[in-house]
Amino acid sequence: MLGDGILKGMAETARNFFGSYVSKERLTTVEYPEQRIPTAENARVFPFLVYDGTDWEAGMRCVACQICEKECPPKCIYIDKSTDKKPDYVGKPQFYPARFDIDISVCMSCQICVEVCPFEAIKMDTQFELATDDRFGGLLYDRKELSRSNEYYHAIHPTEAAEVDARLAEEKAKVEAKAKAAAEAAAAKAAAAATQPAAPAKADSSGLAATAPEAASLTDATKPAGGGS
């Protein structure tokens, strides 16, 4: 029927409107800040950087690939890539952001930076009480202010964080299995080379065995001068 979708939409709007007056779950007005409504798990405000372990600098997942900086619509992310590498929290040498700033006064909370990050290094926070009287410096967060532990990520987005950890663990297991297979193949090749029998030695005219270079010398010595047959 023509207009069926519009009628269904209006019915849903009416149900939510009138239900907000009679349903306890829909009575969302509270005496803030004394009373607070629990933040929804899928809520998003501004980005933060995830780090593993206890040291925010050593455990930072970000490798300064600068994809989020390039894809950010309002261009509020500023990254300077390091010129050297340092061990990450698992000891692997990796590039790191010498500078990672986000101007949250410009950020539009679109989450594109999260979607394009290939290292699960940037996520959306739920913290919204960030008011300050410093319009510029107070709202420009550097990498230390943006850093949050993986435990914090699990606390605010438990379902998403569990999925990310499982995916990272699977990728790590594949890399370790590949490295193990390569090491085993190299060891098998070395063992095969060690057990391969040596080439048989040639014997000279006196009946004594001679090495390949010595045999070549003996052959040259028996040739007539001038190279004739």
Domain range spanning residue 167? 47-171
pLDDT given for residue 134 in this prediction: 87
Let me know if residue 229 belongs to a domain.
Answer: no
Q: Quickly state the pLDDT bin for 4 (edges 50, 70, 90).
A: confident
Let me know if residue 99 belongs to a domain.
Answer: yes
Let me know if residue 104 belongs to a domain.
Answer: yes
Q: Helix, strand, coil % (nearest 5) of the chain? A: 45, 15, 40
Q: Quickly state the pLDDT bin for 222 (edges 50, 70, 90).
A: low
Q: Quickly state the pLDDT bin for 228 (edges 50, 70, 90).
A: very low
Beta carbons within 8 Å of 165's beta carbon, 6+ residues apart: 150
**Contact in structure between 108 and 26 (CB atoms under 8 Å):** no
Mean pLDDT of 76-101: 89
Q: What is the pLDDT of residues 145-198, one digit of tens each?
A: 999 999 999 999 999 999 999 998 898 888 889 989 999 999 988 888 888 776
Domain harbouring 61, CATH code: 3.30.70.3270
Let me know if residue 193 belongs to a domain.
Answer: no
Mean pLDDT of 36-48: 91
Let me know if residue 60 belongs to a domain.
Answer: yes
DSSP calls for 46-105 = SEEEEE-SS-TTTSB------HHHHH-TT--EEEEE-SS-EE-TTS-EE--EEEEEEETT
Q: Quickly state the pLDDT bin for 229 (edges 50, 70, 90).
A: very low
Q: What is the pTM of this model?
A: 0.70
Let me know if residue 9 belongs to a domain.
Answer: no
Let me know if residue 184 belongs to a domain.
Answer: no
Domain count, the chain: 1
pLDDT given for residue 83 in this prediction: 92
Tell me what percent of the residues of the chain surpass a pLDDT of 70: 84
Let me know if residue 67 belongs to a domain.
Answer: yes
